[in-house]
Amino acid sequence: MVNWMLSLEVIGILIYATIVGFIFMGIERKAMARIQRRVGPPIYQPIIDTLKLLGKKESVSHGIIYDFGPVFALGATILALLFLPIANFRLFSTNADLIVVAYLLEVPMLGIMLGAMSSGNPYSALGVQRGLLTMVAMQLPYGLALIALVQHWGTFKLNELVALQQAHGWSILVPALFLAMIVFDIVFQAMLGLEPFDIITAPAEISMGPMVEYGGKHAALLFTQHAVQLFAETAFFTILFLGGASNLLELFIKQLAVLFIAIFVASIYPRFTIDQAAKFFWKWPTILGIIAVLLTM
Amino acid sequence: MSNELLIILLSPLIAGVLAWVLDIKGVRELIGLVGAAVPVAYLAKLYSTVTNEAITYSIKVSGFNLGFQLNTITWYFAAIASLVGLAMALGMVSTSKSSYDWLFALMSYTGVLGVFLSQDFVGFFLFWEIMTFASFMMVLKRNRHESLKYFVLSVIGAYSMLIAIGILYAKTGALDFATIGKVLYMDASLGTIGTGETALIFGLLLAAFGVKAGMFPLYVWAPGAYSENDQSYTAFFSGVLSKAGVYGFLLLYMLMFYKLYAALGTFHGHMTFAYIIAWLGAITVVVASFLAVLQEDIRKLFAYSSIGQVGYILLAFGIGSGLGFAGGLFHVLSHAVFKGLFWLVTAAIILRTGKTQFKDMGGLAEKMPYTFAMGMIAVLSLAGIPPMAGFASKWLIYEAAISAHMPLVAGSIFLGSALAFAYVVRFLYAVWFGQRPSDLEDVKEAPLPLLIAMTVLAIPNVLFGVAPGIVTGYINKMLGGEVVTGNYYKLVTPTGTYNALLIAIVLVIGLAIAGLVYLYGAKVRKIKVTNTYQSGNPVTEEFNLSIRKNFYRPLAEALGFWLRYSWDRFYERLAGVVEDFADTLRESSYNGNVQSYSWYLAIILLILALWGVL
């Protein structure tokens, strides 16, 4: 009854995604450092950070929901990851389509928000407010980009999207979908929480926002969540626009390419305020998104 | 067999009247509960019969033949109504202390059932009016201005429906749905009823059903009427009474589909009339959700949210494909159960704290844990978190809208669901978390009947979330084809798949893995809410750390331009103009001057003379 092959794949991918996610975080820091002519930390630095946080002698808590928040966030991220087809591993991806996965990738946010809200810290609350408003703002162009994609390929199934792209060329080679990719890439910056849309955490303004109260193992959980999320989201981008991948190495290279664009943008742009972000998202990306959608009708 | 329909229909009304007449504490609650439970029991009993063949019953009243039918479609709506009705009655045991409430709440229950079961316009209109009147009386007791606003709009809706029925009767010579449907179907190819007349009937019915469903721009009554009410009753009001409007739209399709299609044609590949409904739904979703985000009152927030969610159903029906109907019908169920649950949670909060503004609340999760858990289920379902019923229905609507090539309509659902996320989090934050105001220290958990009522509505949220196939299987029977395939746990549409059970299982596995990491870490020490980071400063109890007012201020600022326009103000101003006009008319014509009355007589005589009568 139990599908041992699938179980092994799931465990393997989980470990791989976590490690690579951490490496991506390291690459992000390293690249940012090099852009600013610093040496920067070693690539494996986030792993060390997380292990240190896990090794703290005591954690503080504001109640059950405060503990449950990060656990739920990590759990939901794992859920989202397992429904993506990762390179040649299909995992559970035949059981959920694009809309489900797009939703699942947003569920972890609820966990972080829940925990942050239950801490009762005003900085957390501000972070939650900004997080939700960012989501409201980015959702329209995000939706339009996905709709353009689905209308062009005529399917919601991720595996079919990959197969179609491998047969007919990548999504970005289609002019309309290239527009959709630009829109998605702008939104992607907000999804990853990078400048100019790192409004949620905004370290210099609201002391890390939702994460302000978290330390010790809670913070370790959130770090791990961020790593897995980073992996899942870059993989999602690859699947949608870069034709997926037939093996993990190809996937890794494509993910890295996506990540580097995000890093380059992030390192030269200052942060938007939240109302600027809302107005921005409802202007250019939305217009581009509508054009892309109309072109694929 | 035939008597059973009558029992289902009338038992709430009879129970309501009995409760009103007896008015003994304890007895009226018991009678009311029994009256509300009888339809549930009978509908459950008749389930297997209905799926095989329809049950009909007809009665002659003052020359009209009233026909009722329990078929797959009406059973679905009636079952949802009676489930929420039962929860309402349970909730009212705790929240309502007057027999007045019981009479009218149960009367509107009967009204809704009558609307769903009627097979002709006579019964439909009769029960429609009973439903409107009873719900109006519930609001009237608490707020005269809001109740009159509701009443005037409902009357406009009802009488535009009456005019439409009149035209239909004049054209087809029939009042029962079956004949009208047949005649209009034939007329689709003959075309004896002109385009203008068809459009008129369509517009009138759109207004009639749009008022009840809270469609843009006719939703202005809803925030007031839903707020100024017994919140247990609002569970029924917003959960089921708004579905009467939705059912009306379904009826519109059943009666006039081919005729409207033939008369109004297509617009860029979509049926024009359906396209109008879809866009009205989409605008409703976006406008109402934006307004919900900006509310400062718990009841207003859910009122706008309710309008927005019904907008999803209209939008889904407007798509016009089988998948769209499946999504819309599923959302009828999931909206009824999660919004009913929300209102019951609100009822519990208001009952125990006596407050409705977000600024007065906070930190209630520790005081009312069970209510909080129920509220969480409702939040997850409304925000569309898999695996909950709210997600399954929304997923179908997404699939339908995108496959039907309605990209901007689908885009509005994306926006609407992010907004839904934002306003439920607002509710969570302001009511349940953070610092507790000192006057809420002795708040107790909600009373038992209310807790049972919440549980009654929470179960379908989870059950139909994990096993959405139960509902879609039934919907397939209603629509007469395999629109959504799959099994109990897995939905398969022509373009996509959604396996709810697997998602639930993987979520549990994910939580287990995360939980292991959590358990591996060091022990946890619990600290107080006020022991927190405040830029390194000490915090005492007197500080208010929670942001309770204007939580989404930046959004209000970003939308500043749009918020200057309000339909509410527009209608108020229109009402003012009409009132002024009535005053002017009275003062100018009934002026007490004998000479002017003789002038009127002279003018009339002149007209008659010119007409050639004299």
Structure confidence by residue, pLDDT tens digits, A196-239: 888 777 777 777 777 777 878 888 888 899 999 999 999 999 88
- Rounded to an integer, the average pLDDT of B371-390 is 88
Cis geometry, peptide bond prior to residue A210 (ω within 30 degrees of 0):
no
Shared-domain flag, residues B351 and B432: yes
Calculate mean pLDDT across residues B450-479: 88
Reported residue count of chain B is 614
β-partners of residue A60 are B525
Above 90 in pLDDT, residue B582? yes
| pLDDT at B312 > cutoff 80 | yes
Q: What is the mean pLDDT of residues A133-155?
A: 88
Same domain, B518 and B586: no
Tell me the HSE value of A141 on the side-chain side, using a 13 A CA sphere: 30
* pLDDT single digits (tens) B122-132: 889 999 999 99
Does B314 map to a domain? yes
Q: Are A111 and A211 a contacting pair, CB within 8 Å?
A: no
Query: A287: nearest CA in chain B?
Result: B408
B475 vs B447: CA distance, rounded Å: 36
| H runs (alpha helix) in chain A | 4-35, 45-54, 64-82, 98-104, 107-119, 122-153, 158-168, 175-192, 203-206, 216-241, 248-268, 274-281, 284-295
| Residue A163 region by backbone torsions, left for phi larger than 0, else alpha for psi between -120 and 50, else beta | alpha
Residue A169: Cβ within 10 Å count: 11
Q: Is residue B515 part of a domain?
A: yes
Q: How many CA atoms lie within 13 A of A57 on its CB side?
A: 0
Check if A11 contacts B (Cβ < 8 Å): no
Residue B584 lies in a domain: yes
Span B279-299, pLDDT tens digits: 999 999 999 999 898 888 888
- Distance (Å, whole) CA A150 – CA A148: 6
Residues B470 and B343 in one domain: yes
- Cα separation, B17 vs B11, in Å, equals 10
Residue B335 lies in a domain: yes
pLDDT, one tens digit per residue, over B479-528 is: 877 777 878 888 888 888 888 888 888 888 888 888 888 888 777 777 77
Place of tokens 């109309």: A294
Q: Is residue B394 part of a domain?
A: yes
Please tell me the distance from the alpha carbon of residue B347 to that of residue B93, in angstroms, as a whole number: 12
The half-sphere exposure of B443 on its side-chain side, counting CA atoms within 13 A, is 28
Of all residues in chain A, the one with the smallest CA distance to B499 is A95
Give the HSE-up count for residue B146: Cα atoms under 13 Å, Cβ half-sphere.
19
- Stated as kind and residue range, the H or E segment containing B311 is helix B298-319
**Is A79 in the B-facing interface, judged by CB distances under 8 Å?**
yes
Using CA atoms, how far apart are residues B234 and B232, in angstroms rounded to an integer? 5
- Do B521 and B577 fall within a single domain? no
Residues B523 and B429 in one domain: yes
**B454 pLDDT higher than 70:** yes
Q: Are residues B468 and B340 in the same domain?
A: yes
Cα–Cα dist B452/B442, whole Å:
22
Q: Closest CB to A157: pick one of B496, B513, B517.
A: B496
Residue B489's pLDDT is what? 83
Confirm whether B249 is domain-assigned: no
Cβ contact (<8 Å) for B558 and A279?
Answer: yes
Q: What angle do CA B363, B368, B369 make, to 5 degrees?
A: 100
Q: Which of B489, B520, B539 is the last residue of a domain?
A: B539
Range of the domain at B323: 267-539
| Residues in chain B within 8 Å Cβ distance of A221 | 514, 517-518
What pLDDT, in 10s, does the model give residues A19-30? 999 999 999 889
- Domain-terminating residue out of B488, B504, B539: B539
- Mean predicted confidence (pLDDT) in B546-552: 81
Check B386 against A62: CB less than 8 A apart: no
Above 60 in pLDDT, residue B1? no
Q: How many CA atoms lie within 13 A of B168 on its CB side?
A: 29
Token pair of A236 as six digits: 């999602």
**pTM, whole model, 2 decimals?**
0.91
Stretch B220-246: mean pLDDT, rounded? 88
Contacts of B492 (CB under 8 A, 6+ apart): B484, B485, B486
Q: Which helix (H) or strand (E) holds B284?
A: helix B272-293
Query: B601 in a domain, yes or no?
Result: yes
Containing B512, the helix (H) or strand (E) segment is helix B500-520
Please indicate, yes or no, whether residues B331 and B389 belong to a single structural domain of this protein.
yes
User: Does residue B2 register a pLDDT over 60?
Assistant: no
Please say if the pLDDT value at position B602 is more than 90.
Answer: yes
Q: Which of B503, B522, B539 is the last residue of a domain?
A: B539
Confidence band, pLDDT 50/70/90 cuts, at residue B343: very high
Tell me how close the Cα of B93 comes to any Cα of chain A, in angstroms: 31
Residues B279 and B326 in one domain: yes
Q: Tell whether B520 and B583 lie within a shared domain.
A: no
Return the residue of B nearest to A137 by Cα: B415
Read off the pLDDT of each residue in B410-432 and give the average, rounded to a whole number: 88
Q: In A, residues 230-259, which contact B (CB 8 Å cutoff)?
A: none
Number of domain units in chain B:
2
Q: Which residues contact A266 (CB under 8 A, 6 or more apart)?
A: A32, A189, A194, A195, A196, A198
**Cβ(B514)–Cβ(A74) under 8 Å?**
yes
pLDDT of residue B439: 84
Contact B517, A221 (CB under 8 A): yes
- Position B576 scores a pLDDT of 92
The 3-state DSSP class for residue A56 equals: coil
- Most confident segment among A174-178, B327-331, B543-547: B327-331
Q: Which residues contact A161 (CB under 8 A, 6 or more apart)?
A: A98, A149, A153, A155, A239, A240, A244
What pLDDT was estimated at residue A213?
A: 78
- Residue at B261 is within a domain: no
Using a CB-CB cut-off of 8 Å, the residues of chain B touching A117 are 425, 428-429, 433-434
Do B460 and B576 belong together in one domain?
Answer: no
**B337 and B376 together in one domain:** yes
Q: Do B533 and B485 share a structural domain?
A: yes
